[in-house]
Amino acid sequence: MRSSGSSLDEWLVRLESFSPTEIVLGLERVEVLLERLQLPAPEIVFHIAGTNGKGSSVAMLEALLRGKNLRVGTYTSPHITRYNERIRIDAREAADAEIIEAFERIEAVREAIPLTYFEYGTLAALLLFADAEVDAAILEIGMGGRLDAVNAVEPTAGLITNVALDHCAWLGSDVETIGTEKAGIMRPGKPTVFASPDAPQSVIGHARTLGAELILAGRDYDWSSDGERWSWRGTTRQLRDLERPPLAGDVQVQNAAGVLALIEAAGLHDLLVENVINAAIAGVRLAGRAQRVSVGGEWLLDVAHNPAAAQTLADTLGSIDISGPTAAIISMLDDKDVEEVVAALKGKVDSWVAVRAESPRALSASELGRRVANAADRSCLVADSLPQAMDHARALAGTDGLVLVTGSFYIVGPVLRALEIYSPR
């Protein structure tokens, strides 16, 4: 791949041409490249895995570590509006030129080793973290865990937020099988937190077989909330006066509790102080997760794309005080469970608009509309374009209603960009 003079967008187009279905998943390629690049590992490395809640957990962990004045590198995926979001150093997105230079350095040592789009991004992030001499790296698993490129890096500690059905073609069709894949981030003798109270037996069994330290929600740590405040109990600390995270949804207290357990497991006990936690988490914001926007009316944008995330979104919708109807713009990829996602949301949505997302894997608007209508037991408008979908939904919701945008990262990002210049007709 010749790259001289290429823009970041041109690089990404080329990287996307490498289909993961044509390359056997595994860690060997990334491990070889890490050796060739001779990258020193940060002192602290956190792996964050799970079906849902990874982005929220990463954002809260990043804020807490930065509150300790650590230099923090954060790698997440996918992005919402631009690729640079994936790689942050001290909460600053990597610049185009920095990412391009990292890609070029990878290319210089890659030789004949094929790499996926995600593997290039992972290596680029690790290069930039090494250049910046970060104290701590937060690495979000892209999919699964066992064979994910991030897992080529040795962690200090890991967090599995939960296990639910998603990416079933790759990871398995039941939570026990998927749990085995996510448990692949564990290491002998090192701590991994499971942040949901319903850990699959496959996760518990893998930890026992491996000799990993598994820290379970409800057994090794716990939390309670009275609505406005919450408390947390770990193995070495008990915190009684914590403010709720500023992210929507009751599940965010569970996510925050898991992050605190991870910090305790890593031995960063000086962070487990109420005022330190409250100050750090108060500023956390996360695009595309129950994100409220007011432009020509009220909008709620959420990247929920599996049944468990859709149920959490439905709970959030139930807590929002909106006097008018709710109209949903939905777009989903062809490997997602449309029927179960719609089933979770249909009691909170009055009308539906289907549109095709900006992805070659996206369902056509007509097929999606048919499946949504069947699952919702009501008609679904089919839009030819995103502007048309936005206008349809805004008209259906009216001035007092809410437009929900959901089903995929690939629809939430474009709508966020469009809202910057949106004017309803």
Per-domain residue ranges of the chain: 8-281, 291-419
Cα–Cα dist 9/44, whole Å: 32
For residue 215, the SS3 value is: strand
Cα–Cα dist 88/287, whole Å: 15
Give 116's DSSP letter: -
Q: Are 47 and 159 in contact (CB under 8 A)?
A: yes
Q: Which two tokens stand for residue 276?
A: 């330190």
The H or E element containing residue 347 is none
The dotted CATH code for 291-419 is 3.90.190.20
Cα–Cα dist 423/421, whole Å: 7
Structure confidence by residue, pLDDT tens digits, 178-197:
888 888 888 999 999 999 99
For residue 281, the SS3 value is: helix
CATH 1.10.760.10 for domain 8-281, yes or no, is no
User: Which pTM was predicted?
Assistant: 0.91
Q: In what order do the strands lie in the sheet with 222-225?
A: 222-225, 229-233, 238-243
Closest by CA to 99, choosing from 171, 10, 160, is: 10
Q: 296: left (phi > 0), else alpha (psi -120 to 50), else beta? A: left
Structure confidence by residue, pLDDT tens digits, 138-193:
999 976 667 778 888 999 999 999 887 554 455 555 788 788 888 888 899 999 99
Local confidence band at 1 (pLDDT 50, 70, 90 cut-offs)? very low
For residue 307, the SS3 value is: helix
> % helix / strand / coil in the chain, to the nearest 5?
45, 20, 40
Residue recorded with tokens 């839009």: 383
